[in-house]
């Protein structure tokens, strides 16, 4: 099949949506599909970076467009970057799309599916929505005032039209599937294909054998790790309050934040204001060293605001499973992730705002190495059985074969 994916970031960018898209495109190209990607010339964590406008990467034709470069620090600048990508990517897609193509719209920037759906209709192509988050609901849930009022209804109607016109809508979990179905997508065209990690690229690494623990001064310490995007859908006050509670111990539990995002600066400021000596920050690590960076943590943290339940799903979960580490989830205790964590016995779940409960859970895990090891083993087994990238690729290929038949 001739497949054209549209997303604002792609290889060599290392943001979550970019890495997932890169994995899938390279795999489909290796299986004989003709794969194109329309993306931007910049990187998620470096708005000033300039990537080549066209190149061929592992059999994938990459078409990059130039956009404004205000970055992610403020909503107005981000909106300008989005708007310029809609225009530039839409024009490039119009030029390369052909009758019978499959056009796959991800959700960065939000509502790029509206542009892709229009091109698909005019070119006689077929649309697949690969839904990583549900917009504008997620923005409304986070209180983005620019979307209050009638404009949110208009955006929703445009989005719903794209969902209905698509030959398939790929979502990340059952909660998101229910949201998309309520938005008007026919149930037969909603496919749950979770995101993934690579069981061969990310391996469990014992703390004593991890050079990063020595390099970062963490030898002999119990380490709680937050690794990945520090975005607006994540909540950090509960984590920082737990860090403050645990900082008074004779042997303080150390919290390590690895990554970047819209909230990192605020979190750093809070750490300075509260004088939390048991918290440190590290930048995104190279993908090739994920086994080591994820292996730094004895326990990992996953945080998601309850109000966005069903609208997003944290991709950082899969790397944690691959690294064979237990996790503590902070969010909706009745939500999909909490239920998964407790059902599979891979960690603990606490309500947002309950720093005392989070502290108690972390202390319990710190004092029970056998329980941590058992949870980590179950986490690794769950990844291999359900969330390895090869499983996801087979699900994508099955869906594409059904579309071609």
Q: Give the confidence band of 401 by pLDDT, cuts at 50, 70, 90.
A: very high
pLDDT digits (tens, 9 = 90+) for 133-170: 999 999 999 988 777 677 888 999 999 999 999 999 99
Contacts of 45 (CB under 8 A, 6+ apart): 14, 15, 260, 284
For residue 79, what pLDDT band results from cuts at 50, 70 and 90?
Answer: confident
* CA neighbor of 352 nearest in space, from 233, 264, 270: 233
The Cα–Cα gap between 375 and 173 comes to 22
Mean pLDDT rounded to a whole number for the chain: 95
Q: How confident is the model at residue 270 (pLDDT cuts 50, 70, 90)?
A: very high
Secondary structure class of 148 (helix, strand, coil): coil
pLDDT for 19-69, tens place per residue? 999 999 999 999 999 999 999 999 887 778 899 999 999 999 999 999 998
Q: Which one-letter DSSP state was computed for residue 235?
A: -
DSSP state at residue 383: I
Model pTM above 0.85? yes
Query: Looking up tokens 């130039």, which residue turns up?
Result: 66
Q: Which residue has the higher pLDDT, 14 or 239?
A: 239
Please name the helix (run of DSSP H) or strand (run of DSSP E) that holds residue 337, with its range, or none.
helix 336-344
| pLDDT more than 90, % of the chain | 86
Mean pLDDT of all residues in 240-266: 94
| pLDDT value, residue 148 | 66
Confidence tier at 281 by pLDDT (50, 70, 90): very high
DSSP state of 252: P
Domains plus CATH for the chain? 2-196+389-404 (3.40.50.2000), 207-387 (3.40.50.2000)
Q: How far apart are CA 154 and CA 200, in angstroms?
A: 45
Contact status, residue 162 vs residue 114, Cβ threshold 8 Å: yes
Under a CB-based contact definition with an 8 Å cutoff, are residues 96 and 118 in contact? no
Q: What is the mean pLDDT of residues 162-184?
A: 97
More confident residue, 391 or 144: 391
- Integer Cα distance of 57 and 184 in angstroms: 37
The answer to whether residues 113 and 127 touch, using CB atoms and an 8 Å cutoff, is yes
The residue among 165, 183, 156 whose CA lies nearest residue 124 is 165
d(C-alpha 320, C-alpha 104), whole Å: 28
Alpha-carbon distance of 117 to 159, in angstroms, equals 10
Mean local confidence (pLDDT), 183-205:
97
């Amino acid at each position: 099949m001739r497949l054209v994916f549209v997303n604002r970031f792609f290889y060599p960018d290392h943001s979550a949506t970019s890495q997932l898209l890169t994995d899938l495109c390279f795999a489909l190209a290796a299986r004989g599909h003709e794969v194109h990607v329309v993306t931007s010339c910049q990187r998620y964590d470096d708005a000033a970076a300039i990537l080549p406008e066209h190149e061929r990467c592992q059999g994938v034709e990459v078409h990059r467009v130039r956009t404004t470069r205000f970055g992610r620090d403020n909503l107005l600048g981000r909106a300008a970057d989005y708007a310029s990508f809609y225009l530039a990517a839409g024009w490039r897609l119009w030029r390369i799309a052909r009758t019978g193509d499959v056009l796959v719209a991800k959700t960065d920037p939000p509502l790029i599916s509206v542009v892709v759906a229009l091109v698909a209709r005019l070119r006689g192509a077929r649309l697949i929505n690969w839904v990583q988050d549900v917009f504008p609901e997620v923005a409304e849930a986070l209180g983005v005032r620019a979307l209050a009022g009638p404009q949110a209804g208009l955006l929703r109607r445009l989005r719903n039209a794209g969902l209905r016109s698509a030959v398939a809508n790929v979502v990340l979990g059952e909660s998101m599937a229910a949201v998309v179905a309520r938005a008007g997508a026919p149930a037969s065209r909603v496919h749950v294909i979770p995101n993934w990690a690579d069981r061969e690229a990310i391996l469990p690494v014992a703390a004593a054998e991890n050079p990063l623990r020595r390099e970062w001064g963490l030898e002999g310490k119990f380490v709680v790790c937050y690794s990945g995007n520090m975005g607006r859908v994540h909540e950090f006050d509960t984590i920082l309050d737990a860090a403050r509670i645990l900082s008074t111990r004779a042997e303080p539990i150390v919290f390590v934040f690895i990554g970047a995002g819209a909230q990192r600066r605020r979190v750093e400021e809070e750490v300075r204001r509260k004088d939390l000596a048991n918290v440190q920050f590290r930048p995104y690590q190279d993908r090739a060293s994920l086994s080591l960076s994820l292996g730094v943590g004895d326990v990992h943290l996953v945080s998601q605001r309850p109000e966005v339940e069903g609208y997003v799903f944290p991709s950082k979960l899969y790397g944690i499973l691959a690294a064979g580490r237990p996790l503590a989830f902070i969010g909706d205790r009745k939500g999909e992730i909490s239920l998964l964590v407790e059902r599979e016995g891979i960690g603990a779940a606490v309500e947002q705002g309950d720093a005392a409960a989070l502290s108690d859970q972390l202390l319990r895990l710190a004092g029970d190495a056998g329980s941590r090891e058992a949870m980590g083993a179950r986490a690794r087994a769950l990844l291999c059985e359900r969330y390895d990238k090869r499983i996801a690729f087979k699900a994508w290929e099955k869906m594409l074969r059904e579309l071609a038949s």
